[in-house]
Amino acid sequence: MALSLLYLLIISLSFSNLPSSSSSSSSSSDNNNNNNNVNNAAKTFIVQVQPSSKPSIFPTHQDWYSSSLSSLSSDKATAPTVLHTYSTVFHGFSAKLSPSQAQTLQSLDHVTTIIPEQVRQLHTTRSPEFLGLRSTDAAGTLLRESDFGSDLVIGVIDTGIWPERKSFHDRDLGPTPSKWKGQCVAGKDFPATTCNRKLIGARFFSAGFESTNGKMNETTEYRSPRDSDGHGTHTASIAAGRYVFPASTLGYAKGVAAGMAPKARLAAYKVCWSAGCYDSDILAAFDAAVADGCDVVSLSVGGVVVPYHLDAIAIGAYGASDAGVFVSASAGNGGPGGLTVTNVAPWVTTVGAGTIDRDFPADVKLGNGRIIPGMSIYSGPGLAPGRMYPLVYAGGVGGDGYSSSLCLEGSLNQVKGKIVVCDRGINSRAAKGDVVKKAGGVGMILANGVFDGEGLVADCHVLPATAVAASTGDEIRRYIAASKSKSPATATIVFKGTRIRVQPAPVVASFSARGPNPESPEVLKPDVIAPGLNILAAWPDKVGPSGVASDKRNTEFNILSGTSMACPHVSGLAALLKAAHPDWSPAAIRSALMTTAYTVDNRGETMLDESSGNTSSVMDFGAGHVHPQKAMDPGLVYDIVSYDYVDFLCNSNYTTKNIQVVTRKFANCNGAKRAGHSGNLNYPSLSVVFQQYGKHKMSTHFIRTVTNVGTPNSVYQVTVKPAAGMTVTVEPEKLAFRRVGQKLSFLVRVQALAVKLSPGSTSVKGGSIVWSDGKHTVTSPLVVTMQQPL
């Protein structure tokens, strides 16, 4: 909530009254002029209107919007112009406006709200097998029952796509689904004939980006759906890539590459450019994806958490969900700290990242004989076998200790012929190796910082390099510092290729963003985790696997890590579930994924947190790691209809106007608030925040309704697993269903004893409520957060 209040303060300042020129004194005129220039700086706003208010004189809404903008300037040539119009998930347009022009628009009766644009950033194989999805599976399995996702359409909002990759071939696919209304928009190096029966749609949206940054540089970016970054190609093939053999990255991870839903159709919506992903473009992509006929929207993009009525992604995702489209989004890479999760709206399925049982060891051997475990992908000219190389810490061999410690561009000297230890931070991990290489270094050891913890990410490096954990990075620095001039520090790096059947797995990835939910603590986020560390997927030409400009290597597949990679796993699984159960709503699909998720690794123990090596918690993994096969037959689902979200927003103290901005629905909040509190949203998880205020005992209740999607005449018995200090009761303790589709409700009462906390601190306790009929096990996390006010 603190982030939300800060954002509201920023918004209020951006709309503050301009200084009066008549009251300015001569001594302060320069400062006032500078302030005027800053306050008058134009930026992009998203404008919501009441579509029914359009005067009949205007043939289209576009004409009406253009006329409204023309009225803001006496000089028609300099009047603002429409960047995008929205008509499916949102009604309105976007335009670049000065604050005074925005204020004028806001005062018009037909304008509901004006939302300042945010810039979002990208959240940057064996995973199908790890998830239990095999092409040889027998009848009755998820892949077979869904026909591998055939005829379902996944819309990927990202950096575009490289359509020539084998992952996107259309061999043996049927005709484009008759419901499809999308287009294959032509552009630079992307003729309209580029699409096929696999990639059935492709669009690009750049008006928001160019409004802020000027005309794009078409020597480095494509004005078309073609991908010049690689991220979009990678995520699209994770969601729905075809089977490709052989597949590998520089000889690593050899095997069959496949997406989650190999026969699902793809539509690429390019919104991310060199400077980021702009809200006005993202909202336009949502609008198009729903109108085109997508069944699933996958979004591996995120930014600062703000209230939902100021969040273009939340607004677009609600419109999609309201139309029956499942939306999955990455949780963000801000972990392992708490309150870092993004894309937290309850109508979005928020996905964190876990490891799979495969890694790429590359160990450091020190001159003192110590072996330090590391991780890397490198196949170029290597270090001489058996030879030890001089080892230096970058912070001690540069003019500026801080810049050189991070191996920033131009910061290194005296490293020729040496292995250099670089700290993580500021520039990309692979870029640090490029800096070392340019300075004459022969290798790099990339050391995690304290915040990065013990988690290791394998990168495609441009020189022999490996990543080591924070604790072992400290050990290497101590070894270097203790070495004398007569016996200088030395090291080498030993690359060990690909290792599979690693234990433990899955592990919550160190970078994966964590709860609690900053905007709605009553809704547990992330919802689930999925494979997101060292994931093999398709990659474009003309982009080196390291992402460094000097890297001219070509590879058909690349290995990347991030919640960006976890999100399309869930997008593809959602397509499979929708194909197997066409009548399931987006909320039912999310429920199936959550209530069947698991929290135990391949050793039979609770999943670990990669950043610390300790046991992970519900704030790290949400409901747990997805289990596709069990999700196909969950037994019961917690379903939600659109007006349930309206009631949730009412109970979250959103105003009627702000609820209308998000939902385009009128909210009778007096009636909603009589129905309970925001925790009564029919969500598969249960979360409550208790403010202690000197109380010894606190209590609340939840009402939940489950729908039988299993078998008729089934009886479910509840098992409560409360955490220490919690008393939980469920009424009734049995649910007897006579038919499939029947709904039954139950009441959960929670009591918690106060705990000793310092002012401003919190304590999180996790338990669960499990319903079982002997065949199905339906698990709901129960989270109690105790807060001690300041």
**Catalytic sites, residue numbers:** 158, 231, 564
Pairing between β-strand 389-393 and β-strand 528-531 as defined by DSSP bridges: unpaired
Q: Which residue has the tokens 């520089």?
A: 250
How far is 751 from 30, CA to CA, in rounded Å? Answer: 62
Report the C-alpha dihedral over residues 382, 384, 390, 393, rounded to 10 degrees: 20
In 20-117, where does DSSP find H-type helix? 29-39, 61-70, 99-106
Cβ distance 63 to 91 under 8 Å?
no
Report CA-CA distances (Å) from 405 to 440, 449, 745. Answer: 16, 11, 59
- The DSSP result for 170-210, as a single string, is -TT--PPPTT----B--BTTB-GGG--SSEEEEEE--HHHH
Closest CA to 185 of 241, 268, 266, 265: 268
Residue 504 exposure: Cα atoms within 13 Å on the Cβ side: 20
Cβ distance 691 to 737 under 8 Å?
no
Give Rg (Cα) of the chain: 27
How far is 350 from 358, CA to CA, in rounded Å? Answer: 24
How far is 333 from 564, CA to CA, in rounded Å? Answer: 8
Report CA-CA distances (Å) from 453 to 511, 609, 613. Answer: 9, 10, 9
Closest CA to 362 of 508, 536, 497: 497
Single-letter code of the amino acid located at 778: V
Report residue 417 as tokens.
């012929």
Q: Which residue has the tokens 């065949």?
A: 775
Residues in CB range of 194: below 8 A, 6 or more apart: 163, 184, 202
Cβ distance 445 to 465 under 8 Å?
yes
Report CA-CA distances (Å) from 516 to 280, 375, 469, 619. Answer: 28, 30, 26, 6
Q: Hey, how many other C-beta atoms are within 10 angstroms of the C-beta on 684?
A: 31
How far is 382 from 363, CA to CA, in rounded Å? Answer: 14
Report the C-alpha dihedral over residues 492, 496, 502, 505, rounded to 10 degrees: 60
Report residue 63 as tokens.
């004409």
Report residue 769 as tokens.
């409520």
What are the backbone dihedrals phi and psi of residue 115, each rounded to the nearest 5 degrees, phi first?
A: -115, 120
